[in-house]
């Protein structure tokens, strides 16, 4: 008889927060991807077009780790009209020795939200200027809010601007974040107004058409694109990648298929002047990303299974040691 640990979203929110520990957890996952024999298959994807739904299944195995995770992540983008979150899902933790289920983490997408925001923090820490103080966030959902919180943990952010297609949502997010973070956060009428003059711009939408244009960028800026995690999604004008001095992917193999790089390649953009490297190589010290304060840097983060295994392992360890779990005999 096997014992399975079941952890609810409520307890997971108590066990794992967006903080330096979760950022370091994800940073180490990227480092492992560059330096160890990580097994990470392509994303399994299911589209449910009539309900604007998609389901991604991600996993990865890190040699030496006692467990690995399989994440099932649905995104149904009409859910807010129904009064529901657009994302949900769960993670299953399995033994790397026997394959038996060790835990079921009923996070409803919470752990994915945390590890995604942490990845944004890792990218900003290694790619943006050290003195970056003004942020532009395109989007006003959960991830938009978390990305600004994450940036404030790794850079001296003193001002932020938010744009969303729904101005009311942008105003609500700006008000909430200004109160929580203690610096001015302004809702902008258009994305150009938000991006021009910012030190860091982060896109956090499911857009299928570019919302950030190359002509808005200037020397020294950093851009992190979070939303292009499917072939049809595209937040950056493909010319943004040609303008960049350095393009950094969470996985080049993956972003060639479904990231912003995929769209630039499909558009035939000349990328000969843009260095293309992976974030794991940067965090491991194998590659240096930003070479000076005038360079434009791009991070294309499509979400990797190693991030899910890392954050799930952290949550499982804390649940077992802290007792915040239900033990089920199966």
Range of lowest pLDDT (22-26, 150-154, 316-320): 316-320
Query: According to the per-residue pLDDT averaged within each range, which of 65-74, 75-84, 226-235 is highest?
Result: 65-74
Percent of the chain residues past pLDDT 70, beyond the cut? 100
Task: Tell me the C-alpha distance between 326 and 3, whole Å.
Answer: 10
DSSP helix/strand/coil, 224: strand
Q: Over the range 290-319, which residues count as b (16 or more CB within 10 Å of their CB) and which as e? A: beeeebbbbbbbbbbbbbbbbbbbbbbebb
Q: Regarding beta strands 101-106 and 326-329, do their DSSP bridges make them parallel or antiparallel, or are they unpaired?
A: unpaired
- Which pLDDT value is given to residue 182? 97
Whether the per-residue pLDDT at 1 is higher than 80: the answer is no
- Which pLDDT value is given to residue 315? 95
In angstroms, what is the C-alpha Rg of the chain? 19
- Which pLDDT value is given to residue 47? 93
- Which pLDDT value is given to residue 330? 74
| CB atoms near residue 82 (< 10 Å) | 9
- Which pLDDT value is given to residue 264? 96
Range of lowest pLDDT (164-168, 190-194, 229-233): 229-233
- Which pLDDT value is given to residue 86? 86
Average pLDDT over residues 11-22: 96
Phi, psi of 322 (to 5 degrees): -95, -10
The pLDDT mean for the chain works out to 95
- Which pLDDT value is given to residue 232? 87
The predicted-structure confidence for 110-148, as pLDDT tens digits, reads as follows: 999 999 999 999 999 999 999 999 999 999 999 999 999
Average pLDDT over residues 308-328: 88
Average pLDDT over residues 244-258: 95
Whether the per-residue pLDDT at 266 is higher than 80: the answer is yes
The predicted-structure confidence for 71-97, as pLDDT tens digits, reads as follows: 999 999 899 889 998 889 999 999 999
Give pTM, 2 decimals. Answer: 0.94
Burial label, 14 (beta-carbon count in 10 A; 0-12, 13-18, 19+):
middle
Percent of the chain residues past pLDDT 90, beyond the cut? 89
- Which pLDDT value is given to residue 3? 86
Task: Tell me the C-alpha distance between 104 and 118, whole Å.
Answer: 22
Query: What domains are defined for the chain?
Result: 3-112+306-329 (3.30.1780.10), 128-303 (3.40.50.720)
Task: Tell me the C-alpha distance between 55 and 72, whole Å.
Answer: 7
204: CB partners within 8 A, 6+ apart: 137, 138, 139, 141, 143, 144, 147, 226, 227
- Which pLDDT value is given to residue 53? 93
Q: Quick one: angle between helices 142-154 and 167-181, nearest 10?
A: 30
């Amino acid at each position: 008889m096997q014992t399975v640990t079941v952890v609810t979203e409520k307890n997971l929110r108590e066990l794992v927060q967006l903080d330096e520990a979760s950022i370091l957890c994800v940073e180490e996952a990227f480092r492992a991807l560059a330096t160890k024999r990580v097994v990470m298959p392509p994303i399994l994807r299911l589209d449910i077009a009539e309900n604007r739904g998609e389901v991604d299944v991600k996993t990865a195995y890190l040699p030496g780790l006692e467990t690995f995770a399989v994440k099932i992540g649905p995104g149904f983008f009409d859910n807010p009209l129904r009064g529901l979150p657009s994302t949900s899902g769960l993670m299953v933790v399995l033994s790397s020795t026997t394959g038996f289920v060790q835990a079921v983490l009923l996070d409803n997408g919470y752990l994915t939200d945390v590890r995604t925001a942490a990845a944004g923090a890792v990218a900003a820490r290694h790619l943006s200027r050290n003195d970056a103080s003004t942020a532009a966030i395109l989007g006003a959902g959960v991830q938009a809010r978390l990305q600004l919180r994450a940036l404030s943990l790794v850079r001296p952010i003193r001002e932020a601007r938010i744009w969303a297609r729904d101005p009311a949502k942008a105003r609500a997010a700006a008000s909430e974040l200004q109160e929580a973070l203690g610096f001015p956060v302004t809702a902008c009428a258009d994305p150009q107004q938000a991006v021009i003059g910012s030190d860091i711009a982060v896109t956090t939408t499911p857009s299928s058409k570019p919302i950030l244009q190359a002509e808005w960028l200037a020397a020294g800026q950093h851009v992190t694109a979070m939303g292009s995690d499917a072939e049809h999604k595209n937040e950056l004008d493909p010319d943004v990648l040609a303008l960049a001095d350095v393009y950094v992917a969470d996985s080049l193999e993956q972003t060639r298929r479904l990231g912003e790089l995929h769209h630039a390649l499909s558009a035939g953009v000349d990328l000969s002047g843009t260095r293309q490297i992976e974030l794991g190589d940067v965090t491991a010290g194998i590659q240096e990303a930003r070479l000076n304060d005038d360079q434009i840097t791009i991070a294309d983060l499509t979400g990797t299974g190693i991030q899910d295994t890392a954050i799930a392992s952290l949550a499982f360890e804390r649940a077992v040691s802290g007792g915040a779990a239900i033990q089920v005999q199966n």
